[in-house]
């Protein structure tokens, strides 16, 4: 068998020549040609790939500055507030880049915006984590930003007391990464989304911008640290800085395009409006009001509820009014405090549902009473809240909730 196989093998590789001799045909020529073809094919493939890589493409609208067009980076632009801000900016003809890691935001909100503004050069979405310094540097290197609106942050007081390190990392550390990129690339304006939680529980109401900042929970502390970094940096920078400390956000886009859709696993930490709507839809058996023994009129916490449409309007006004080498710090609120019990009654009327309410002990990290004095932002930026009817704001939000029972997945 062995000799037979060898004979067959030799037969395939020999050819009869003149003189009756057998000559073994060399494979070298065939192999060389195969290798040449392979190399040429791979080279062509590499050239095609490189030409489609960002560094080899011709400059896009987002990568170059354009006279008369302001390019704004909106961090956290897939989130509740960030997506509403992006919508307003796009309506006002700004060029917008959204950066979000979608840990709290919704890709569905981005898709809504892309559907509304499909024109080239208007809106782009970049999936990235601001904690990744290399990714952030790449984003700033490949885009020509005129301004940054920094919304991206975890933002639940209760959760911050349970997992404080997450909040210091996500808020304070990530803001440092953004700030370093802003500095390296000489971005002209920074609008920072801060919070009234930096004030803690002041002895005197209403809160003004010079009220001492003594935060009492990790969320407020992390935001204050981020503010301090920005303020220290601004002392030796030409950048225009605006810090907006806003209060409790409610409502949604009046035209029903966007709304609030927190992740299901975060419902217990979410805003009171979300809990009210969940109770009204039967997602949860009832509403839990935590704390009835505060030193307030009815024993429940008092808050200043600001409609998200008013809030993004304040951000746009801040962007327009920001001046080089100047820092503006403003409270963004209605100037009127409402108790949790008042809020619940307004929610019942807005939804038409007699929501079951359970009164429980206080939640760690909460404070009794917080509401703003918006006189400074009215004086400097000519801004004041317009949507101040609590029930009406909740009715608008409820309309979106009813048509999107599963959030953006309903679309």
Tokens of 133: 């310094």
Q: Dump strand ranges (E) for 34-170.
A: 71-75, 95-100, 123-127, 147-150
- SS3 of the chain: helix, strand, coil, percent, to 5: 45, 15, 35
Q: Do 169 and 209 contact (CB within 8 A), yes or no?
A: no
- Between CA 223 and CA 216 the distance in angstroms is 12
DSSP state of 169: I
Task: List, in order, residues 6 or more apart from 59 with CB less than 8 Å away.
Answer: none
Q: Do 186 and 236 contact (CB within 8 A), yes or no?
A: no
**Could you tell me how far CA 98 lies from the centroid of its own chain?**
7
| Cα–Cα nearest to 190, from 326, 380, 306 | 326
DSSP state of 120: T
Burial (Cβ within 10 Å: 0-12, 13-18, ≥19) of residue 35: exposed
Tokens of 311: 């809030």
- Of the residues 80, 167, 219, 408, only one is catalytic, namely 219
Task: List, in order, residues 6 or more apart from 228 with CB less than 8 Å away.
Answer: none
DSSP state of 266: G
Half-sphere exposure of 31 (CA within 13 A, CB side): 4
Q: Do 179 and 241 contact (CB within 8 A), yes or no?
A: no
Three-state DSSP class for residue 3? helix
Q: Do 355 and 280 contact (CB within 8 A), yes or no?
A: yes
Decide if 94 is catalytic: no
Strands 22-24 and 14-16: antiparallel
DSSP state of 364: T
Number of H helices, E strands in the chain: 14, 15
Three-state DSSP class for residue 241? strand
User: Which residues are identified as catalytic?
Assistant: 219
């Amino acid at each position: 068998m062995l000799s037979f196989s060898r004979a067959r093998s030799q037969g395939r590789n020999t050819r009869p020549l003149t003189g009756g001799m057998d000559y073994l045909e060399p494979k070298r020529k065939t192999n060389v040609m195969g290798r040449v073809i392979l190399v040429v094919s791979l080279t062509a493939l590499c050239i095609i790939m490189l030409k489609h890589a960002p560094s080899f493409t011709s400059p896009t609208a987002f990568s170059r500055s354009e006279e008369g067009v302001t390019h704004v980076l909106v961090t956290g632009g897939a989130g509740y507030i960030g997506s509403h801000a992006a919508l307003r900016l796009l309506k006002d003809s700004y060029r917008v880049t959204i950066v979000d890691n979608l840990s709290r935001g919704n890709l569905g909100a981005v898709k809504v915006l892309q559907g509304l503004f499909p024109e080239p050069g208007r809106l782009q979405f970049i999936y990235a984590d601001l904690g990744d310094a290399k990714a952030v540097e790449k984003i700033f290197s490949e885009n020509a930003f005129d301004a940054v609106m920094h919304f991206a942050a975890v933002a639940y007081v209760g959760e911050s007391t349970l997992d404080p390190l997450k909040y210091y990392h996500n808020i304070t550390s990530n803001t440092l990464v953004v700030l370093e990129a802003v500095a390296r690339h000489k971005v002209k304006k920074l609008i920072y989304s801060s919070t009234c939680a930096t004030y803690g529980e002041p002895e005197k109401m209403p809160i003004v911008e010079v009220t001492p900042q003594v935060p009492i929970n990790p969320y407020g502390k992390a935001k204050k640290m981020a503010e301090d970094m920005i303020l220290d940096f601004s002392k030796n920078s030409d950048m225009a800085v605006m810090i907006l400390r806003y209060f409790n956000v409610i409502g949604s886009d009046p035209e029903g395009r966007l709304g609030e859709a927190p992740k299901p696993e975060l419902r217990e930490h979410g805003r009171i409006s979300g809990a009210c709507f969940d109770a009204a839809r039967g997602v949860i058996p009832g509403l839990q009001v935590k704390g009835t023994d505060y030193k307030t009129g009815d024993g429940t916490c008092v808050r200043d509820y600001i409609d998200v449409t008013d809030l993004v309007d304040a951000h746009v006004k801040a962007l327009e009014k920001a001046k080089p080498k100047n820092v503006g710090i403003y409270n963004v609120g209605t100037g009127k405090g409402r108790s949790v019990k008042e809020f619940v009654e307004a929610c019942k009327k807005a939804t038409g549902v007699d929501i079951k309410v359970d009164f429980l002990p206080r939640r760690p990290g909460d404070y009794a009473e917080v509401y703003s004095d918006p006189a400074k932002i009215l004086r400097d930026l000519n801004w004041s809240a317009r949507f101040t009817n609590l029930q009406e704001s909740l009715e608008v939000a409820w309309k979106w909730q009813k048509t999107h029972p599963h959030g953006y997945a309903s679309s």
